[in-house]
């Protein structure tokens, strides 16, 4: 009886003990799980960073393939830019047409317009913010550029104060500084530069 009782007690204590131990065990397991989840997240971020880094390197290598060209012809644009302009105009109906060469690029350093390596695709009248279908047309042109950048040697595209560069595709669609105004911030047109 006594031994049974002790046994029971022992069991009880054991049970309790086990209960306490399993509580601590659960906490430990929880901590371990949290730690390994944290580790996994760190690893994943590291892998993504590495992947992003590799993507960046691959993009740089692709960019180097495109040797800069000089403008030719009466429109004063490069053959590469002309091919992009013609492809965009063939693919989309542009309400405001396009403009490429300008003596004054209008930004610090001049940009690519004076070099004949940039075009603006107008979504409507200059200075009027594109809305509705016209704004959506801008989005479609940007999508087209991102899909075809490697085929045409497109360097970057700007629209609605955002920029995407084929040199840094891993960075995605990045917000830009405020250049002031609808046109300066590209709310009325899509800008494309080529290498
Ligand atoms: Zn432009």
> Rounded to an integer, what distance in angstroms lies between the CA atom of residue 186 and that of residue 8?
81
> Rounded to an integer, what distance in angstroms lies between the CA atom of residue 91 and that of residue 181?
28
Lowest mean pLDDT among 1-10, 78-87, 109-118: 1-10
Residue 6: the pLDDT is: 45
Element (H, E) at 45: helix 2-65
CA of 35 to the centre of ligand 1 (A): 50
DSSP 99: E
Average pLDDT rounded to a whole number, residues 25-44: 80
Q: For residue 65, give every residue at least 6 positions away whose Cβ sits within 8 Å of its Cβ, in sequence order, or none.
A: 153
From residue 73, alpha-carbon distances to 81, 97, 115, 119, 126 in Å are 12, 19, 13, 15, 26
**Could you tell me what percent of the chain has a pLDDT over 90?**
67
Distance of CA 176 to the CA centre of its chain: 13
CA of 54 to the centre of ligand 1 (A): 30
pLDDT at 18 > cutoff 80:
no
- Please tell me the pTM assigned to this model: 0.76
Element (H, E) at 141: helix 132-152
pLDDT at 187 > cutoff 90:
yes
| Residues less than 5 Å from ion ligand 1, measured at CB | 120, 191
CA of 183 to the centre of ligand 1 (A): 9
Element (H, E) at 61: helix 2-65
Compute the Cα dihedral for 142, 148, 151, 155 and give only its sign: positive
pLDDT at 117 > cutoff 70:
yes
Of 140 and 104, the structure prediction assigns the larger pLDDT to: 140
Per-residue pLDDT of 139-163, as tens digits, reads: 999 999 999 999 999 999 999 999 9
CA of 146 to the centre of ligand 1 (A): 17
pLDDT-based confidence at residue 3 (cuts at 50, 70, 90): very low
Compute the Cα dihedral for 98, 104, 107, 110 and give only its sign: positive
What would you measure as the largest C-alpha separation in the chain, in angstroms?
112
Of 69 and 29, the structure prediction assigns the larger pLDDT to: 69
Mean pLDDT of the chain: 88
pLDDT-based confidence at residue 10 (cuts at 50, 70, 90): very low
């Amino acid at each position: 009886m006594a031994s049974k009782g002790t046994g029971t007690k022992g069991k009880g204590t054991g049970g309790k003990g086990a209960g306490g131990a399993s509580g601590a065990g659960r906490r430990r397991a929880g901590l371990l799980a949290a730690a390994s989840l944290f580790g996994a997240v760190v690893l994943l971020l590291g892998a993504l960073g590495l992947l992003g880094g590799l993507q960046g390197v691959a993009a740089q290598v692709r960019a180097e393939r495109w040797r800069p060209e000089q403008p030719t012809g009466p429109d004063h644009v490069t053959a590469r830019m002309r091919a992009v302009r013609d492809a965009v105009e063939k693919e989309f109906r542009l309400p405001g047409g396009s403009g490429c060469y300008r003596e004054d690029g209008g930004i610090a350093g001049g940009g690519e317009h004076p070099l004949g390596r940039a075009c603006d695709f107008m979504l409507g009248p200059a200075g009027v913010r594109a809305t509705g279908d016209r704004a959506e047309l801008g989005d479609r042109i940007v999508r087209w550029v991102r899909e075809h950048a490697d085929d045409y040697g497109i360097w970057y595209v700007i629209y609605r104060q955002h920029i995407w560069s084929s040199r840094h595709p891993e960075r995605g669609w990045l917000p830009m500084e405020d250049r002031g105004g609808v046109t300066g911030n590209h709310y009325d047109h899509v800008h494309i530069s080529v290498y």
